Amino acid sequence: MAVCARLCGVGPSRGCRRRQQRRGPAETAAADSEPDTDPEEERIEAGAAALAGAGGGRGAGPSPPPRCSLLELPPELLVEIFASLPGTDLPSLAQVCTKFRRILHTDTIWRRRCREVLHRYRHILGLWQPDIGPYGGLLNVVVDGLFIIGWMYLPPHDPHVDDPMRFKPLFRVHLMERKSATVECMYGHRGPHNGHIQIVKKDEFSTKCNQTDHHRMSGGRQEEFRTWLREEWGRTLEDIFHEHMQELILMKFIYTSQYDNCLTYRRIYLPPSHPDDLIRPGLFKGTYGSHGLEIVMLSFHGKRARGTKITGDPNIPAGQQTVEIDLMHRIQLPDVESLRSFNELSRIVLEVREQVRQEQQQQEDGAEDGDGRAPQSPREPQRGPAQPSVELPAEKGGGPADGEAAAAAAPAPEQPAQSGQGQPFVLPVGVSSRNEDYPRTCRMCFYGTGLIAGHGFTSPERTPGVFILFDEDRFGFIWLELKSFSLYSRVRATFRNAEAPSPQAFEEMLKNIQSLTS
């Protein structure tokens, strides 16, 4: 009773039981679905009765009019009262009785509290790319119960491209305080600790850890490296026999660990989708040779498709266009036996590249296109000579092995000779792949180019390749110069607050993230 009286000043709770007795069963059930013998409420009533008995020996007089208890108020009114209380009082209030605890689970109370706090942090909700040199990353900031949490999404362990994404919290904002919030760093293995968020502008913010000693481990840097290696690669250094791969892994650990979760983030958007897209655009994961698995964003731009790196490496950094596909130049693969010959595939692709070069020259000279016929839609099966497609970038020195996989939302056309079964596919002899579990049938292929470069993004160049559409969730790319194959698989995670406000905003975002590493 005393708790109830302090909260709203409406008097003792004894009237609650009387009023329930005057109600019919249906009315009582509608007012409170909990049993009438809730021990917490009986405890409150017992306290009220004891206080009333203590005053019973006084002289008789007119009985005071019955006063209303907080427990009698309609749930809608209780929601309004509880929503106006300081957030720090709500946990104690939930312990008063079952009815209060049940009402405090109402979404309306917490949505209102989130709005009060989110006026300061509303701009950080959405999808972000951290500035970690060439490596980049993928962060999704969401409201989760009493917190705003920044989840870092990581690819599965190499080379398991079809496995789900991994994720871990980097920071959280506690929403309990009215019109204020506590920022906590979640990096490391010693639990939440003091952090700070600075909102630079609408599409950029930074985080800072104020207690970086929480990131250290008792075994020093050697233990930290072993732990990071197990989390990042799912193995120990002894399991990695390739010397160049060991160097790349150690380099990444040294580079990324120096930030200590003090990072700047820039907003990114998921690509917009259109009915005419070859497949549904989005995020894909796959391996890039010794660099392991990386995240790529597939987007469509008229007659071309582009793969932009969201995570990267010292050869091709995050933000660069790793692949580009020419959707107007489709490639007809030879039969399986002929496809096993790398020289045969190379001959076909180089012929298409020459055709593309000649068409570009004709356009520059103001000549009419080819034979004057209208270009074929990428969804129409092509009969006749092969034509080129868009470029996809790769890396020099340890070329990509497994890349990102695009998923197809709309059904792609089948090869005409296969009666809806797809065309048999096999990698040519001599083409390396870190993942041998690739599909053995494909729907269609296009000419493309891939970006390769030396360490430090030196001497970048686009080289010819083949884009292979396997199904709605996977595609591949053969890098001719590297004799390497990348298998890409769709990221199936759902990201909130990640849609671009307009196609123009998405295009501008792509330019911005590319300019940061150019």
How open is the CA angle 480-313-497, to the nearest 5 degrees? 110
Residue 459 has φ and ψ, to the nearest 5°, of: 50, 55
* Residue 69 pLDDT exceeds 80: no
Q: How much is the pLDDT for 149? A: 94
Q: How much is the pLDDT for 65? A: 64
Residue 420 tokens read as 């809806």
Tell me what the mean pLDDT of segment 375-401 comes to.
Answer: 37
* 458 bridge partner residues: 454
> How far does CA 37 lie from the centroid of its chain?
47
Between 120 and 125, the higher pLDDT residue:
125
Side chain identity at residue 18, one-letter code? R
Instruction: Region of 454 please: left (phi>0), alpha (psi -120 to 50) or beta.
Output: beta
N residues, the chain: 518
Q: Categorize the per-residue pLDDT at 247 as very low, low, confident or very high, splitting at 50, 70 and 90.
A: very high
pLDDT, tens only, 170-207: 999 987 655 568 899 999 888 999 999 999 888 999 99
State the Cα–Cα distance between residues 97 and 94, nearest whole angstrom: 7
Residue 479 tokens read as 């890098």
pLDDT, tens only, 12-21: 333 343 344 4
Under 8 Å between Cβ of 401 and 433: yes
pLDDT, tens only, 253-289: 999 999 999 999 999 999 999 999 999 999 999 889 9
pLDDT, tens only, 25-34: 444 434 444 4
Between 82 and 495, the higher pLDDT residue:
495
* Residue 383 pLDDT exceeds 90: no
